[in-house]
Amino acid sequence: MLREIVLDTETTGTEAKNGDRLIEIGAVELFNHIPTGKSYHCYINPERAVSEGAFGVHGLSDAFLADKPLFKQILPGFLEFLGDAQLVIHNAPFDVGFINMEFARLGAGAPPPIALDDVVDTLPMARRKHPGAANNLDALCSRYGIDNSRRTKHGALLDAQILAEVYVELLGGKQTSLGLLVAEAAAPTGPDLPGAVAAPPRTYRSRLSDAERERHDVFRASLGPAAIWTDYIPPAEAN
């Protein structure tokens, strides 16, 4: 069974090699290109100021990040969530560059750097599929009819959720053809989280044959009673 982690980050600026740091990581889990409902999210104290340009993108202020954990403190949980999964990232050199720079800052005993060759980069995938067209995340959402109205500010978890949908479309729309009802893990919300918004469930029209539906039911059952599908089975299937 193929396990993939779709990942996105936010940072203090655009230059990891010049001292910019990670401030947010968001990731969602896929099995065989299907979301399981499991996600990872954290904010990080970068121990430096957020640039004005970066703040305009994600809205995460120095004051908001001041009491968040350091990268070394979130690392064990982050690595546990990643496991040995295949990473899926849009414009992978940017995010991987920042993660590897954070690893390097830890010195002796740090995890080995992530190799770009081991990462699925959806940006060149999109460029190959749509040469000459805009292939940023907003453009791809528009092209594939994916609702990104929640994306008033960039946020790592929300962008990872949206990228997971885009990735499946780049692969040929397998998720849509399965006709799944997927509840996206909601982005963190609350008065102290700038730009946070809740993600409404997305509904997909079923185009399954009886044989395909039976195979999917077997797969869904294998995820256990706590799986996200349990709460989102259409009434016709529940009876």
Asked, for residue 77, whether it belongs to a domain, the answer is yes
Residue 197 in tokens:
């918004």
Asked, for residue 86, whether it belongs to a domain, the answer is yes
Closest CA to 36 of 74, 69, 5: 5
- List, for residues 174-196, the tens digit of each pLDDT value: 544 343 434 343 444 443 444 44
CA gap 73, 45 in Å, rounded: 10
CA gap 151, 166 in Å, rounded: 14
Asked, for residue 219, whether it belongs to a domain, the answer is no
In the block, which residue shows the tokens 């292939």? 135
Count of structural domains within the chain: 1
- What residues make up the domain containing 52? 3-207
Cβ 129 vs Cβ 167: under 8 Å: no
Say whether 154 is catalytic.
Answer: yes
Q: Report the length, in residues, of the chain.
A: 239
Asked, for residue 124, whether it belongs to a domain, the answer is yes
What's the confidence (pLDDT) of residue 28? 97
- List, for residues 38-52, the tens digit of each pLDDT value: 999 999 999 999 999
Asked, for residue 24, whether it belongs to a domain, the answer is yes
What's the confidence (pLDDT) of residue 227? 63
What's the order of all strands across the beta sheet hosting 119-121? 34-43, 22-31, 3-11, 86-89, 119-121
Asked, for residue 168, whether it belongs to a domain, the answer is yes
Closest CA to 161 of 201, 217, 114, 124: 201
What's the confidence (pLDDT) of residue 209? 61
pTM confidence score: 0.73
In DSSP terms, 119 is beta-bridged to 87
Identified catalytic residue from 41, 58, 154, 216: 154
**Residue 34, CB-side half-sphere exposure with 13 Å CA sphere:** 20
Backbone angles phi, psi at 187, to 5 degrees: -65, 150
Asked, for residue 233, whether it belongs to a domain, the answer is no
Asked, for residue 226, whether it belongs to a domain, the answer is no
Digit-by-digit pLDDT tens for the chain (239 residues) are: 899 999 999 999 999 999 999 999 999 999 999 999 999 999 999 999 999 999 998 989 999 999 999 999 999 999 999 999 999 999 999 999 999 999 999 998 899 999 999 999 999 999 999 999 999 998 999 999 998 887 766 889 999 999 999 999 999 875 443 434 343 434 444 434 444 444 444 444 444 566 666 777 777 777 776 665 555 555 444 44
Torsion of CA 39, 40, 43, 47, to 10 degrees: -150
CATH number at residue 142: 3.30.420.10
What's the confidence (pLDDT) of residue 197? 42
